Amino acid sequence: MFRALLLAPPGAGKGTQGELLARRHGVPHLATGDLLREHVSQGTDLGRAAEAHMEAGRLVPDDLVIEMVLHRIGGHDGSEPMTDFLLDGFPRTLRQARAAYEWARTVDRTFHAVIVLEVPEDELVRRLAQRGEEQGRNDDTEDVIRHRLAVYEESTAPLVEFYEERGILVRVDGTGPVEEVTERVEAALAPVLAARG
């Protein structure tokens, strides 16, 4: 059993580490940014509601995101709730975190670990600007990047304390080569996973 969440500012390597960790632990990688971008490109109701927020670097409203994620992991479509997953990019606000915790307690699926990737702000801006050039994501422009970092500080950073109080927070230095970060994450996770019972 492996239920973990990656908590990190934009540009800290959530997507890359998320995919690697999910593969290593054999669990689905659920990245809310990717799911939302799929909705936007498919022109669904959710995609249309989310698009302008994403382009401006704002968060998509809590209710929409909570419904999307709990629908996927919660078996609200009639299937069984998922027992294992690596969540990437959710929760991003205290309201989302409380909704996720509420759900998890109800179905006995609380998270085992919350991994925080720590990267200095200058490095984040540099990585995001580079990604903007390479991948053409329309929220990777300098103004929008600064806004997304400010949104992270204001809305998402408080989750660190929320999970620290629950004793499942794992802090990892997210600088340096990808493989080294992955090894650091695994080393930091080992004692937490050993204690999950």
Active site residues: 14, 92, 131, 137, 148
Burial 13-34 (b: 16+ CB within 10 A, else e): bbbebbebbbeebebebbbbbe
Task: Give me the least distance between CB of 69 and ligand AMP, in Å please.
Answer: 7
Minimum distance from CB of 52 to ligand AMP (Å)?
10
Dihedral pair phi/psi, residue 64, rounded to 5°: -65, -45
The residues facing 88 across adjacent strands are 6, 31
For the packed helices 14-25 and 178-194, what is the interaxial angle rounded to 10 degrees?
A: 50
Question: Closer to ligand AMP at the Cβ: 10 or 185?
Answer: 10
Q: What is each CA distance from 175 to 12, 121, 180, in whole angstroms?
A: 8, 11, 9
Nearest distance from residue 142's CB to ligand AMP, in Å?
15
How is residue 154 written in tokens? Answer: 């204001």
Q: Which is nearer to ligand AMP, 94 or 193 (CB)?
A: 94
Question: Looking at beta carbons only, is 28 or 191 nearer to ligand AMP?
Answer: 28
Nearer to ligand AMP, 49 or 188 (CB): 49
* Residue in the shown chain whose Cβ atom is closest to ligand AMP: 33
Q: Point out which residues bind ligand AMP (CB under 6 A).
A: 10, 32-33, 36, 53-54, 57-60, 65, 89-90, 92, 96, 139, 148
Report in angstroms how near the CB of residue 165 gets to ligand AMP at its nearest.
Answer: 20
For CA atoms 117, 159, 35, 124, the dihedral sign is: negative
CB-based contacts of 10, cutoff 8 Å, min separation 6: 124, 128, 145, 148, 149, 152
